[in-house]
Structures are given as C-alpha cells and as structure tokens.
Chain A
C-alpha cells in the first residue's frame, strides 16, 4: 500500500491522466455581507504538496476550512473523488488538551473514532510510532505545559497523522513559532510527507510566507487579497532539500514577490 502511494508520489508532476484528490469548482464563501472567497477553482492531485499563498485575512484559511467541511460554501462545489479519502487538519495553534499527556493527546482521534475511552495496546503502539516520527519519543508522558512551542506543534502533527490521513490540511502550522524553530519544522514536514511510514500522500498548506511556500511545495497557488481569487498557479520543480538562497528557488521567490506586488 505504502509502496504504491510512494510510487505515485515519485511521478511528482501532476499528470493529466492521474485522478485529482480534491477538486474545487467556482467556490464562493460569504459570511453575511463579507465575501471571503470568490469563484475559486483549484485541483489538487494525489502526491502533491500545494501551498496556498496570500496576504493575512485574504480568505485562505476559510478555503482550508471549507475543504475540511468546517465552513459551508455559499456557491460552487468541492468534490473528493476518492470516497474513502481521509483528511487530517492541523491548526496554527497546537490545541493540545492540557489535562492529557502527549501520548493521550495523540490518541484522541482514535478514541473519538472508536467511541471508547481507553486505547488498546496496538493503538498505543501506533501513537508511540507517530511520536517517534515527529521526534518526540521521550515525551510521551509529558504534559503540554512541559513542552516548548515547537514540541507542542510536533505533538499536534503526530495527532493529525494518527487519523492516518491521505491529505493533510495545514493552516499556517508553524506560523506562531520563531523563525529558527519554524525552519526546522518545515524540513521535518517535508521529511514526513516523503517518508513511507504513513499513508499521507498530499499536503495542502496555507501560508503568507513566500520563501516558505516556494521551498516546501510542488505548486504555489498565489491568492489575491479578500475576496480570495487565484492570481497564478506557480509550479516549483526544484529538488528537495531547497533553500531560498538556491539560484532556481530564489528566482521563483523573486518572481512570486513581483507578482504579489503588482497585484496590490
């Protein structure tokens, strides 16, 4: 199973023949009189890492919430061609429950899905594996207030992975962290997306940082200020690991920056 997913991912560039994992057509979202998203069309292919780049308050988080079915669209359609598609969501804040240990926080999705109260040995084992994957092995029994901001966000990532999602929706996942921690966690995110240990194939990430979007994604979807409309869909074909200082990556960053400035 994992091998097949990886093979699909290695094809990298979206092929016309492969099936979309998410398809958004003419999406409209309004809250009262405020139009958050207007006529947005976007297709996400299996295996892609896509960034939604836009200024603060442009409606990109609303788009992610609409995909996660937290927000009801007022027009258009969001289709998920795979019936059994599992979607994980990661918020800007870690949102760990302070009365639970790290391990119990990671187990929360399983408890909710199964409807029980305590996890069995197999579930605990897979939660420990997730903690291992996000490099939090020694902190299973720590409480959130004993962890640093970066570690809390790692735990939140482990919890999101615990649902065994095909698609991970990231809402500025490391936006509240300091620059250095953020860079490290961005690299970790890429490593986990590329690793064969989960069935995660596709990532859709909201960000307002141009370098972050370009160094991480296969495609950067540049959105306008509210209401969010697509300005351009920029493919990034450079190999990982990337740095903003790389010639090719740097050129794309500069291109997008110019694009965002002229759109203002």
Chain B
C-alpha cells in the first residue's frame, strides 16, 4: 500500500515543480495560470468554511438520497405495480440535467442550504435506486428455494438473504453517487448562494482571482475524493466476502 503510493507521489511532486518553474521563468501572469505557491497562499479560513458548507450539503443530500432510494427500492421489490408505475418517473428525473432544474430549486427553496441539498438528492437518487433494485433481485433462485424449504417468511428471506446479497450492488452505487453529490451541491451554489465552493468559484472567476479559483476547484475535487474513499473503506470492512466484481 505505502510502496504503491510512492510512485504517484513522486510524479506529482515533479509535475508541481515543473509547473512552478515554467510559471516563474516565463513570467506567466497570475490571472492566467497561478504558480502552485500562489495557490497555496490563498488557502485561508474562508476557503475552509466554503469547503465545509459544500461538503455538508453534499453529504446531507447523499445520505437522504441513499436512504430514500433504498426505501423505495424495497417497496419496488415487494410491489411490482409500484415499480412499473414509478420507474418511468425516476428515469425522467434522471435524464433531466441537474443544471436545468437548479434554478427552479432556488426559486422554490431559496438560496439557503435546502436548494443545494435537494440538488444533491436529485443527482444521487437514481444510481442508488437502480442498483438496489437490481441487488435485491439478484439472489439466485436456488438460494430462494433453500429459504423456502426452511419455511422462511417473506420478511425473513428479505432480511437474511436479499439485503446482505444486495450490499455489494448498493455500495458500488454509493461510490458513484458520493462524487455526484458534490456536483449537485456546487451546481446548486452556482445558481444562487451566499456561501460554499460553488459561490467561491463564481465570485473568484468574476474577479479574475485565478489562484483562489484554483484552490476552490482543488477543494471541490478533494470533497468528492474524500466521500468516495470513505465509502470504499466502509465497503471493504463490511463486504469482506465479495471481491467487488458486481457493478
């Protein structure tokens, strides 16, 4: 693990040094391409607060969407007509670009937290729903026959077979939607906000404060990466029996 991290780290440092050298030697103006040191200099309390705001919005949207999607997937698996009736609506929500819906969310929910959280929910919901429905149906017929011969009730079959069977499917969806959640929150902030990384990106680009813009972009990437790895870490602890080949 540590030895595998050495090579990318070394390449990264070399790239940063080259970047710094080129900007300094060629006197590239800071509004075009700031040097790494100039970007680091913009890291202040405001950036950390912006990061925290966006991260909390994304996390809240991700958690609410995941719980909601799991609950609805459970209903879909139990009631076929519900799935037939509601799935097209879920697809319609999925195919509408979040950028197109965001202004409406700001009109309805204001420029506060909720318009961003709902944007994150809308973007996270679908992958979790689809994979959970698939996972809950994935248990082989033979396993279901085994439970039938043991006289298991539908609830027992669901709890002791279908849910654990679904976990690898659920987690691969959570990994996708965790990074999507950050996109949802930032898009919400673009449209109307008074804080957060999306707000910082809009403001700093308008003022040509490119170094701040860079640090905001890097912070946004870091938020997505942090969520992704947190899910991956939980997955490896929880689903020790699967080699993670389910998608």
Interface of A toward B, CB cutoff 8 Å? 65, 68, 70, 87-89, 91, 93, 95, 97-99, 108-109, 111-113, 115, 143-145, 163
Contact = CB atoms under 8 A, between A and B. Distances in A.
B151 A70 contact: no
Contact of A108 (B142, B145, B150, B242): B150
Interface in B188-207: none
Contact of B241 (A95, A111, A145): A145
Contact of B148 (A70, A108, A111, A144): A70
A68 B150 CA distance: 10
Contacts of A144: 241
A108 B241 contact: no
A95 B160 contact: no
B19 interface: no
B151 A112 contact: yes
A68 B152 CA distance: 14
A108 B143 contact: no
A112 B164 contact: no
Interface string B123-161: 000000000000000000011011111111000100011
Contact of B150 (A98, A99, A109): A109
A91 B142 contact: yes
B233 to A, nearest CB: 18
Interface residues of B, number: 18
A98 B239 CA distance: 10
Given A98-B241, A98-B242, A145-B241, A89 B149 contact: yes
B145 A99 contact: no
B164 A97 contact: yes
A99 B164 contact: yes
Contact of B145 (A70, A87, A97, A112): A70
Contacts of B150: 108-109, 112-113, 163
B142 A93 contact: yes
Nearest to B243: A145
5 contacts: A91-B142, A91-B145, A93-B142, A99-B240, A111-B160
B149 A95 contact: no
Which 10 pairs of residues, A with B, have the shortest CB-CB distance? A98-B241, A89-B149, A112-B152, A112-B150, A99-B164, A95-B146, A109-B150, A99-B241, A68-B149, A70-B145
B125 to A, nearest CB: 27
A99 B143 CA distance: 14
Contact of B142 (A95, A109, A163): A95
A111 B150 CA distance: 10
Contacts of B156: 112, 115
Given A70-B148, A98-B241, A143-B240, 10 more contacts: A65-B145, A70-B149, A91-B142, A95-B142, A97-B164, A111-B160, A112-B147, A112-B150, A115-B156, A163-B150
A65 B148 CA distance: 11
Contacts of A145: 241
A100 to B, nearest CB: 9
A97 B161 contact: yes
Contacts of B147: 112
Given A91-B142, A95-B146, A113 B151 contact: yes
Nearest to B239: A99
Contacts of B143: 95, 97
A112 B161 CA distance: 12
A92 to B, nearest CB: 8
Contacts of B161: 97
B245 to A, nearest CB: 13
Contacts of B145: 65, 70, 91
A207 B240 CA distance: 35
Interface string B7-37: 0000000000000000000000000000000
Contact of B146 (A91, A115, A143): A91
A135 to B, nearest CB: 22
A96 to B, nearest CB: 10
A14 B135 CA distance: 49
